[in-house]
Every structure is written in C-alpha cells, then in structure tokens.
C-alpha cells in the first residue's frame, strides 16, 4: 500500500477502505517523512545562518 496524504488517509478510513490500524500506520509514515523534511529544513537554515553576510549596499537598508 502506498502512502496517502493525511487527508487521503482520513478519507480512506472514513469510507472503510482502510482499517484503523492501517490508518495509524499511514499517519506514522507521514509523521516520519515530515520529521525528515523538517530536519533537512532546519539544517539548511543553520547553514544559511552561518554564512557570512555579503549583501550589496543597495539591498541593505
């Protein structure tokens, strides 16, 4: 079974297409993917913070 988006999981569960256990499993998979994406974004933000500021005078006010 592929991973549904959150709304897809909820809808499939409401329609009885997946069991409660399957819905929980899908939500956990979505949560893991979200955690990984957040970690990547946090790492990128930290890298940007550590870069020296080299803005041009015309853009710095």
**Residue 53's pLDDT is what?**
78
pLDDT digits (tens, 9 = 90+) for 2-46: 567 999 999 999 999 999 999 999 999 999 999 999 999 999 999
| Long-range pairs of 13-21 with CB within 8 A, sequence gap ≥ 24 | none
**Residue 7's pLDDT is what?**
97
Is the predicted pLDDT of residue 1 greater than 60, yes or no? Answer: no
**Residue 3's pLDDT is what?**
61
**Separation CA 38–CA 54 (nearest Å):** 27
**Separation CA 17–CA 13 (nearest Å):** 6
Is the predicted pLDDT of residue 57 greater than 70, yes or no? Answer: no
Q: How far is CA 25 from the centre of its chain?
A: 16
**Is residue 18 within 8 Å of residue 9, measured between CB atoms?**
yes
Biggest alpha carbon distance in the chain? 61
């Amino acid at each position: 079974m592929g991973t549904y988006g959150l709304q897809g999981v909820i809808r499939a569960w409401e329609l009885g297409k997946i069991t409660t256990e399957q819905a929980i499993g899908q939500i956990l998979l979505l949560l893991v993917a979200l955690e990984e994406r957040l970690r990547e974004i946090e790492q990128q933000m930290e890298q940007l913070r550590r870069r020296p500021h080299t803005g041009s005078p015309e853009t710095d006010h």
